[in-house]
Amino acid sequence: MIEATLSLLEVRNLQVAYGGIHALKGIDLAIAPGELVTLIGSNGAGKTTTLKALAGLLQPAGGEINYNGKSMLNCAAHQRVRDGMALVPEGRGIFSRLTVAENLQMGAYTRSDSAQIAADLDHKYALFPRLAERRTQQAGTLSGGEQQMVAIARALMSRPKLLMLDEPSMGLAPLMVAKIFETIREISAQGVSILLVEQNARLALQVAHRGYVMESGLITLSGAASDLLGSDEVRRAYLGG
């Protein structure tokens, strides 16, 4: 565990319940500034629930979420965006009838610095040249991989300190997966902290600094990503070997 004084995000004993079902049973995790951390586990383990709770889309039943030295428990989702937390949801959640450019502009809805927003748009088009070519196209007409690029670029328009990614490779062709993960590496190299939830455990651990393994709403294993890649337990359960 990273010491709280060094953490951008510190989660302690986080619990989430759906009715009588405890989806998260008291998890601890931490992310340092500039760190890329992955959360892996099987379907239904609680990974998406974790991200939704961190983003303010689910109300925890207990525990603490401290971000940048501040408790987030009573902080609305839109305020968390203003504070520098951004979620790219599973399924992308783009505005299909808006253009690519309009989707990206929506990502900056908490901002009023027009000149910097315009500069950031140019930066996102440089990061995703394919979006620059399609900026006037309705986002719903793009391929799945291009829509994922829109979702990531839109989140980055809020200038997050912490970017949370939920299954960015889901449903994408291998070449597009490689492109998305190359971009995730580049975003991390620019100093943005990243919490990555990803079904492709091998790929996630190859890009991450550290990882957490989640099973049935609990963190069962954590450590350096390289150590988890070499773990017999992780290999048997998640790496197919």
Nearest one of 197, 194, 202 to 226, comparing CA atoms: 202
Enumerate domains of the chain plus CATH numbers: 4-84+160-238 (3.40.50.300), 94-159 (no CATH)
This model's pTM is above 0.85: yes
**What's the pLDDT tens digit per position in 206-239?**
999 999 999 999 999 999 999 999 999 998 888 8
DSSP string, 30-63: EE-TT-EEEEE--TTSSHHHHHHHHHTSS--SEE
**What's the pLDDT tens digit per position in 136-156?**
999 999 999 999 999 999 999
The DSSP output letter for 110 is T
Mean of the per-residue pLDDT values of the chain: 93
**Res 43 pLDDT > 60:** yes
**What's the pLDDT tens digit per position in 165-214?**
999 999 899 999 999 999 999 999 999 999 999 989 999 999 999 999 99
